[in-house]
Amino acid sequence: MGTIFRLAMQSLRSRLFTSLLTVSSIALSVTLLVGIEHVRSGVRESFAGTIRGVDLIVGARGGSLQVLLSTVFGIGASSTAISYETYERWAAHPAVGWSIPFALGDSHRGYRVIGTTSEFYERYRFRQDGRVTFASGRASEGDDEVVLGAEVASRLRYEVGSPIVVTHGLQGGGIADHEAHPFKVVGILNRTFTPIDRAIYVTLGGIEAMHEDFEQAPGAVPAGAPPGTPSMPGAEAPPVMPGANAPPVMPGAEPPPVMPGYVPPAGTPVMPGYEPPPGTPTMPGATPPVATPALQPRVDTTHDDHDDDDHDDAAAQGSGEHADHDHEPQQVSSFMVGTRNRFEALQLQREMNTDLTEPLTAIIPGVALGELWQNISSAEVGLRIVALFAVAIGLTGMLVALYSSLDARRREMAILRAVGAGPRTIVSLLVIESALLAFLGCVIGVLLVYALLVFGQGAIEARSGVHLAIRALGSTEWMYLAIVLGAGTLIGFVPAIKAYRTSLTDGLSPRS
Amino acid sequence: MTASAAAPAVALSNVRFAYRPGQDVVAIDTLTINRGETVFLHGPSGSGKTTLLGLLAGVLTANSGSVQILGQDLTPLSSGARDAFRAQHLGYVFQQFNLIPYLSVRENILLPVRLDRERRAKLGSTDPVRAADTLASELDIGAAINSPVTELSVGQQQRVAVARALIGSPEVVICDEPTSALDSDRRQRFLELLFASCHKAGATLVFVSHDFSLQPLFSRTVSLPEINSASAMIAKDN
C-alpha cells in the first residue's frame, strides 16, 4: 500500500497543473462550505451573546419580538411607554435583584440615544462574561452627559468633551433637534461587538430634560406628552421673531402654530444671554420649519441631523442653562430585570404579563432570541444548499479530470499489470489519487478560511459588527470535511472501475 | 504458487483461447520450453503472438488445456493468484513505452520488488536499491539511474525495462519485440546485454519477434504459425 500511495503521489505530481486545478476547485468549494458554517455560527454566537445574565426584558404590552428587537438590538421602537411609577413598582418587587431601565426614541446622526441608569454599566453582560467598560472617561451622571458606544465615537470622531445635540425620533433629518438641551461626551465605551457599540447613553434625567426643553416651544405641547410635565422654571418662552420666518403651519396640523422643535433661526434672541453670532444672516429655511406632530414624544417622530454650526451655538447656549437642573424621569420604554433567584423568573414573568394596573410584556431573552433565530435560520439552510452544490461541482471537476486522464494512462496500467499489479492495485491507485486530491482540497480550503478570517476579520467587524472569532473547527465543519473526503474517495471509484475494466480487456497490450 | 524446480519453464498442452466463442485465436497442442533456454518465438503479426504472451503472463486464461509455468498450471488459478504468480516469477519487456513516465530510472527498475513482497524476498539480503543500481550498470545505464525516464533514448529505455524485468531474479523473462524500435547496431548491443543478464540471473528467455535476422543468436527457434493451428484462420480473417 505504501508503494501505491507513493505511486499515486508521483502520478499526481506528474500531472501537476491538472492536479492543482482540481485541488483548487475542491479547496474553493470547501472554503465556501466551511466559511459559511464559520460565519453562520459566528453570527449565531454573536447574536445569542448580545445579551447575557438578564432574566427578563419588560416592555409595554406588545409583541415579544418587538420588545426584544427594540431593547436589545435597537431595531424599531415600542409604541407605548411604561410609566416611571410602574417601573419603580416592579423594580422594588421582592423577586427583583436589579433592574436596568431604558428610555428610547431619540437619536443622534442615526445612532440611538438611550436613557438609562448606572445599573446599565454595572449589570449589563454580553457573550461569556463581557462587561461594559470604558475606553476613556466615565459613566454619565449629570443630565447633560453622554457616553458613546465605540462605533459611534470612531465613526463620528467624537472624543470626551465633544458637544452633541440629540435628535428627537429615530430617523429623518434635522426637523426636531433638541438644540435647547445639548449634551457633552463624558465617556467612550470599549468595543463590544454588540449593538452597544452603535448606541449613545444618557441618563434618564437627560432624556427628560431634553424633552422638557423640547416642549418649551410656545404652545407646542404635543399630543400624547406625559401629563404633568412641569414647565421649566426660569425658561422664557422664545418670542416668535417678527419679520423672520413666518411660523410655518403644516397643512393639516392642529392648532399649535409653532411646530414642536421649531427653533427660531439664528439671530433670534431665544434665551437670556444668547448672542447671535455676528453677521449671521437670517436664512429662510435654514432651520427646517416642518415637523410631523409627535404622537409619542419619545418615539415616533422622525428627525435627525443638523448642522455642526447650529449645534455649536446650541451647545454654547445650553450648557450654562441646564447643567445643574434636576429632571425627574416620567416614563421608560422598557427595562431589564435580574431576579434574586433565577427560578423566580418564570413566576415573575407571569405576574408581569397578567398585571392589570399597566399592561406589560415580559420576555425571557434566551427564549425570544431562540425564536428570532428560528425565523432567520431558513436563510442559512439556503446558504448551506448553495455551498453543498459548490462542493458537488468541485468534486465533479475532479471526476472529469481523473476520468479524462484515463485514456492516456492505459499504457501505465498495462505496465503495472506486467510487473504484477492486479486490477485491485490499479483500482486502489486511482481511488487513492482522488482521495489525495480531496484531502489536499480540504486542507487548503480550511487554510483559506483561516487566512480569510485573519485578513478579513477587521473588515467584517467594521462593516457588519459581527465579530468572527478565529476558533478551532467545530463538529459540523469536521463533518463537512469528512463528507467531502468521503465523497471524493467514492468518486474515485468511477474512474477506478473504468480502469479496472480496461486493464482486464487490455491485459498487457493496450490498443493505443 | 508452487513452482517446481524440475519442471520445464513453460509447458503448454492442448491450449485453446478465443476472445469470442468459436473463433479460436490460439490453439496449441504442445509447447515446452526448458529452463535456461533462450527461445526465439517467431510469428508474423496476426499469428496470435500477443495472445500467447498474455496466456503465458497469466493476464489471459485459456478456455481449455493447461498453461504451466515452472510446473504451475495458471488456468485454474484465480486472477489474483495469477497476478501474484506473475509478480513473483516473471519479467516482462514490451515493444516500447515500457516505463512509467513519472518515475525515475531507479524507481522504474524497483517497481516489481516494491509492488510484490515475494519478489522482494528473492533479493535476500541484498538492498533493493543496490540491486537496481547493479543491474543498471550491467546494462550500461548506471549513469542515468536518477534521471527522469523521459530524458532517455529509446535504447536506454529498453535497457531500463530489461533491468526491471530481471530484478529479483524471475525464472522466466518474456520479451515482446523489444528491439523493434532500435536500429540494427543498437539491436545487437541490446541483445548481448540481455543475454548476459539473463544468463547471469539464470532466467529462461522467451523472445518474440517477426525479425528473422535475430534468430541465430538464440538457442532455439519456435515458429508460431507452425504450432498454432488457429493462426491460419486468423490470417484469413485479416
Residues 32-61 of B with CB under 8 A from A: 50, 53-54, 57, 59-60
* Residue among A14, A411, A507 minimizing CB distance to B54: A507
pLDDT of residue A312: 41
pLDDT of residue A206: 85
What's the rounded mean pLDDT across residues A405-429? 83
Tell me the shortest Cα–Cα distance from B114 to chain A, in angstroms. 6
What's the rounded mean pLDDT across residues B90-104? 85
Question: In B, which residues are within 8 Å of A501 by CB distance?
Answer: none
Q: B65 — contact with chain A (CB < 8 Å)?
A: no
Greater pLDDT, A117 or A234? A117
Contact B157, B144 (CB under 8 A): no
Residue whose C-alpha is closest to residue A491's, from A408, A433, A404: A433
pLDDT digits (tens, 9 = 90+) for B82-96: 888 888 888 888 887
In this prediction, residue A257 has a pLDDT band, given cuts at 50, 70 and 90, of very low
Greater pLDDT, A279 or B217? B217
pLDDT digits (tens, 9 = 90+) for B139-157: 888 888 888 888 888 888 8
In this prediction, residue A440 has a pLDDT band, given cuts at 50, 70 and 90, of very high
The number of helix segments (H) and strand segments (E) in chain B equals: 9, 9
In this prediction, residue A299 has a pLDDT band, given cuts at 50, 70 and 90, of very low
Question: In A, which residues are within 8 Å of B176 by CB distance?
Answer: 508-509
Q: Is the pLDDT of residue A448 over 90?
A: yes
Asked if A11's CB is within 8 angstroms of B83's CB, the reply is no
Q: A411 — contact with chain B (CB < 8 Å)?
A: yes
Helices B184-201 + B154-166 axis angle, to 10: 10
Q: Is the pLDDT of residue A289 over 70?
A: no
Q: A8 — contact with chain B (CB < 8 Å)?
A: no
Q: How far apart are CA A226 and CA A245, in angstroms?
A: 30
pLDDT of residue A442: 93
What is the rounded (10 degree) CA torsion for B216, B220, B221, B227? Answer: 170
Question: In B, which residues are within 8 Å of A423 by CB distance?
Answer: 79, 83
What's the rounded mean pLDDT across residues B196-222? 86
pLDDT of residue A67: 86
What's the rounded mean pLDDT across residues B20-28? 84
In this prediction the ipTM stands at 0.84
pLDDT of residue B142: 84
Q: A220 — contact with chain B (CB < 8 Å)?
A: no
Tell me the shortest Cα–Cα distance from A448 to chain B, in angstroms. 30
Alpha helix segments (H runs only) across A71-196: 84-91, 118-123, 150-156
What count of CB pairs under 8 Å joins A to B?
72
- The rounded mean pLDDT for chain A is 75
Contact B66, B13 (CB under 8 A): yes
pLDDT of residue A302: 38
pLDDT digits (tens, 9 = 90+) for A374-414: 887 788 788 888 888 888 888 888 888 888 888 778 888 88
pLDDT of residue A1: 60
pLDDT of residue A255: 43
pLDDT of residue B2: 55
Contact A457, A33 (CB under 8 A): no
pLDDT of residue A444: 95
In this prediction, residue A27 has a pLDDT band, given cuts at 50, 70 and 90, of very high
In this prediction, residue B227 has a pLDDT band, given cuts at 50, 70 and 90, of confident
What's the rounded mean pLDDT across residues A467-491? 88
| pTM for the full predicted model | 0.67
**Nearest chain A residue to B168, by CA:** A419
Lowest mean pLDDT among A295-304, A358-367, B103-112: A295-304
What is the rounded (10 degree) CA torsion for A349, A355, A361, A364? Answer: 0
Greater pLDDT, B2 or A460? A460
What's the rounded mean pLDDT across residues A258-280? 44
Tell me the shortest Cα–Cα distance from A498 to chain B, in angstroms. 17
* C-beta neighbour count of A337 within 10 angstroms: 24
Q: Is the pLDDT of residue A20 over 50?
A: yes
pLDDT digits (tens, 9 = 90+) for A218-228: 444 344 434 44
pLDDT of residue A369: 86
Ramachandran region of residue A330, left (φ > 0), alpha (ψ -120 to 50) or beta? alpha
pLDDT of residue A50: 81
pLDDT of residue A45: 78
SS3 state of residue A358: coil
Asked if A420's CB is within 8 angstroms of B88's CB, the reply is yes
pLDDT of residue B3: 57
pLDDT digits (tens, 9 = 90+) for A125-167: 887 778 888 988 888 888 888 899 988 898 888 888 888 887 7
In this prediction, residue A446 has a pLDDT band, given cuts at 50, 70 and 90, of very high
pLDDT digits (tens, 9 = 90+) for A52-111: 888 899 988 888 888 888 888 888 776 678 888 889 989 898 889 899 999 888 888 888
In this prediction, residue B118 has a pLDDT band, given cuts at 50, 70 and 90, of confident
Torsion sign over Cα A436, A438, A441, A443: negative
What's the rounded mean pLDDT across residues A445-449? 94
Residue A201's H or E segment, with its range, is strand A199-203
Greater pLDDT, A317 or A124? A124
Question: In B, which residues are within 8 Å of A18 by CB distance?
Answer: none
Q: A408 — contact with chain B (CB < 8 Å)?
A: no
**Within its chain, how far is the Cα of A141 from the centroid?**
27
Partners of B104 in beta bridges: B148
The three cell numbers of residue A333 are 420604554
What's the rounded mean pLDDT across residues A341-369? 87
Q: Which amino acid is at B25?
A: V
Tell me the shortest Cα–Cα distance from A492 to chain B, in angstroms. 20
Looking from the CA of A80 toward its CB, the CA atoms found within 13 Å total: 12
Tell me the shortest Cα–Cα distance from B178 to chain A, in angstroms. 13
**Nearest chain A residue to B50, by CA:** A509
